[in-house]
């Protein structure tokens, strides 16, 4: 294969994903493991990384490894303190380098972003936003990043102006898997899009804490189908999220990052509110953002 | 001791509580176990009950046992189908009698209530509302029953006009114990009332799904104390509940049922919104409601 020029790393709480890239930016190899930051002690990070990339390293030279995500959290490999918005998504000057014992690599960790009022933080998404700006340098609008904690960021003039985290995905997992609602719902059937839309509409009509138990009551009284209850819950929560976006963001363009089911649901939810959204693939923007950071490092960080 | 006239039973999902009463309504004995409806198969209910009341029964006559709560659910001892509001809290005509093998007792189960639009159900609270009406037959206003699922009911002319369940307590348990927020909160310290009030106010200023992650971010960025984060979360959720009460209920009197910490927090939350509330003890109204049902049974059900 052609020579590995550098290695891109997306290291989240539950997953570690790595890519070997050529000098021309081509993906030569890809690997992943479940050794996320949440399962590692500080002295286990280098080993977890080498487990995946050892064969890509060259004994004759130092390969740059560029990482983003929770690996830079306080409980991660080494803390990369947040940069405060408004600022460019990747705070290159604050990138940090954990010590490594393997001389074949040099690792850089990209810091996350923080916001003082209202208090908020993110790690990993800054790199996806940077990747979006690599594609569209003049982008002005909102970036929607669905996930366990979905993030919405306002981007203008190459900077992140502000952002907002919603615990929508985590709440969905808790409510569908561990609350009393679990008795009346199933997620192993085809997604019930009409029920999702009913949930979306209900989100603006009824307060969330009251609407939730309604799903249980409809199961008991009207035999609401488990797959419909599942989709209704998803619609209720995503609908609440969209209804809770700050007013100053009304009317801005939206780009949803992601290629999976979650992103598809957000796009559908936005469309039902007559908000058209562009889309970029998550892996595509993550790699573009890591490449932007690598360019900077090569330029002499 | 004086003779046991009848036995009152409050049988919830996790707890079984029983009282032996004299003909004059005096509590002669009290007992409880953790053999709630959730842990019992249909053929285990009689045994679980006898475990607590066997010594109170008289071989020479049949003692009336009057029960309310989840014991009458579809997964309970025997289903007592819901009565539909508007109606009197205790649908005496729909009381059901599970078969028992012990000839010393006759068991009656009080049905719960249902509402079609919006769909809602309750079991057990109907008896507490009936108990409130025993104390105050002309009560016109709202009854607030805090709990894992808090219930609000509108009572007028001796009837339950409508009601609304909120999953506030269950959501608090899931978020404080199992979500990412658990890392920044502790509930084993004195309750932080000022932080609770901050949460109450924030509930009306910011959408819930966004405000939740703010607690995590404030822990990371500003060192928000774990006890304060705990109380803030409680305030956020109870504040959302109060903000979500139907508009048609504005201006009605409020009576909070309960003597524990949860009821105290609801009273405090209502007071910060300038809503004064009366209070009745939970055991007091449960027993009064079970006594009302017993009166009816003696009258010839």
pLDDT of residue A1: 53
pLDDT of residue B1: 53
Q: Nearest 5 degrees, angle CA A220-CA A225-CA A230?
A: 100
Same domain, A73 and A182: no
Establish if B300 belongs to a structural domain. no
- Count of structural domains, chain A: 2
Establish if B186 belongs to a structural domain. yes
Asked if pLDDT for residue A300 goes beyond 80, the answer is no
Asked if pLDDT for residue A167 goes beyond 90, the answer is yes
Out of B166, B167, B207, the one facing A244 most closely (by C-beta) is: B207
Establish if A247 belongs to a structural domain. yes
Asked if pLDDT for residue A299 goes beyond 90, the answer is no
- Rounded mean pLDDT of B25-35? 97
- Rounded mean pLDDT of A128-139? 97
Q: Does B208 touch chain A (CB under 8 A)?
A: yes
Out of A115, A209, A240, the one facing B171 most closely (by C-beta) is: A209
Domain boundary among B59, B83, B116: B116
- Cβ distance A284 to A129 under 8 Å? no
Query: pLDDT averaged over chain A?
Result: 95
Domain boundary among B98, B116, B134: B116
Same domain, B87 and B153: no
Q: Does A275 touch chain B (CB under 8 A)?
A: no
The pLDDT-based confidence of B80 (bands split at 50, 70, 90) is: very high
pLDDT digits (tens, 9 = 90+) for A223-281: 999 999 999 999 999 999 999 999 999 999 999 999 888 999 999 999 998 998 999 99
Same domain, B80 and B167: no
Establish if B52 belongs to a structural domain. yes
Domain boundary among A114, A141, A168: A114
Same domain, B59 and B100: yes
Chain A residue with CA closest to B82: the answer is A221
pLDDT of residue A259: 84
Establish if B295 belongs to a structural domain. no
Q: Does A241 touch chain B (CB under 8 A)?
A: yes
The pLDDT-based confidence of B300 (bands split at 50, 70, 90) is: low
Same domain, A96 and A136: no
The pLDDT-based confidence of A146 (bands split at 50, 70, 90) is: very high
Looking at chain A, the whole-number percentage of residues with pLDDT higher than 90 is 92
Same domain, B134 and B249: yes
- Rounded mean pLDDT of A94-120? 97
DSSP A3: P
Chains A, B: CB contacts under 8 A, how many?
A: 127
Tell me which residues of chain A, numbers 123 to 162, contact chain B at a CB-CB cutoff of 8 Å. 149
pLDDT digits (tens, 9 = 90+) for B36-53: 999 999 999 999 999 999
Same domain, B129 and B73: no
The CATH number of residue B90's host domain is 3.30.420.300
Mutate to test the interface with B, among A148, A175, A209, A223 (most CBs of B within 10 A): A209
Same domain, A74 and A56: yes
pLDDT of residue B260: 87
pLDDT of residue B298: 87
DSSP A96: B
CA distance A213 to A155: 37
More confident: B204 or A7: A7
Count of beta carbons in the 10 Å neighbourhood of residue A93: 10
- Cβ distance B21 to B65 under 8 Å? no
Question: What is the H or E stretch that residue A254 is in?
Answer: strand A254-257
The distance of B52 to chain A (nearest Cα, Å) reads: 28
The distance of A49 to chain B (nearest Cα, Å) reads: 25
pLDDT digits (tens, 9 = 90+) for A179-237: 999 999 999 999 999 999 999 999 988 889 989 999 999 999 999 999 999 999 999 99
Q: Does B1 touch chain A (CB under 8 A)?
A: no
- Rounded mean pLDDT of A148-170? 97
The CATH number of residue A159's host domain is 3.30.420.310
Same domain, B221 and B84: no
- Rounded mean pLDDT of A99-124? 97
Same domain, A34 and A63: yes
Q: Does A121 touch chain B (CB under 8 A)?
A: yes
Structural domain range at position B178: 124-286
pLDDT of residue B299: 82
Establish if B46 belongs to a structural domain. yes
Instruction: Classify burial at A297, counting beta carbons within 10 Å of its beta carbon; exposed 0-12, middle 13-18, buried 19 or more.
Output: middle
- Cβ distance B213 to B173 under 8 Å? no
Establish if B278 belongs to a structural domain. yes
Establish if B155 belongs to a structural domain. yes
Same domain, A128 and A276: yes
Same domain, B278 and B222: yes
């Amino acid at each position: 294969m052609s020579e590995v020029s550098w290695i891109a790393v997306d290291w989240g709480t539950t997953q570690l994903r790595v890519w070997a890239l050529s000098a021309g930016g081509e993906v030569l190899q890809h690997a992943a493991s479940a050794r996320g930051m949440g399962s590692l002690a500080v002295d286990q990070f280098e080993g977890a990384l080498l487990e995946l990339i050892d064969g890509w390293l060259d004994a004759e030279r130092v390969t740059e490894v560029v990482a983003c995500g929770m690996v830079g959290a306080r409980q991660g490999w080494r803390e990369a303190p947040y940069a405060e918005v408004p600022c460019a998504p990747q705070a290159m000057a604050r990138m940090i380098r954990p010590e490594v014992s393997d001389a074949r690599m040099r690792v850089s960790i990209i810091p996350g972003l923080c916001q003082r009022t209202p208090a908020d933080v993110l790690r990993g998404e800054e790199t996806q936003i940077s990747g979006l700006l690599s594609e569209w340098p003049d982008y002005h609008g909102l970036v929607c990043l669905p996930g366990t904690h979905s993030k919405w960021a306002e981007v203008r003039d190459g900077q992140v102006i502000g952002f907002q985290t919603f615990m929508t995905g985590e709440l969905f997992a808790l409510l569908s898997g561990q609350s009393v609602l679990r008795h009346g719902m199933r997620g192993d059937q085809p997604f019930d899009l009409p029920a999702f839309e009913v949930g979306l509409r209900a989100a603006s009509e009824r307060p969330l804490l009251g609407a939730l138990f309604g799903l249980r009551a409809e199961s008991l009284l009207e035999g609401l189908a488990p797959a419909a209850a599942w989709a209704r819950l998803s619609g209720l929560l995503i609908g609440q999220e969209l209804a809770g976006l700050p007013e100053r963001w009304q009317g801005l363009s939206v780009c949803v990052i992601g290629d999976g089911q979650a992103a598809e649901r957000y796009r559908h939810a936005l469309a039902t509110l007559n908000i058209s959204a562009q889309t970029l693939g998550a892996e595509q923007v993550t790699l573009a953002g890591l490449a932007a950071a690598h360019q900077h490092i090569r330029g002499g960080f």
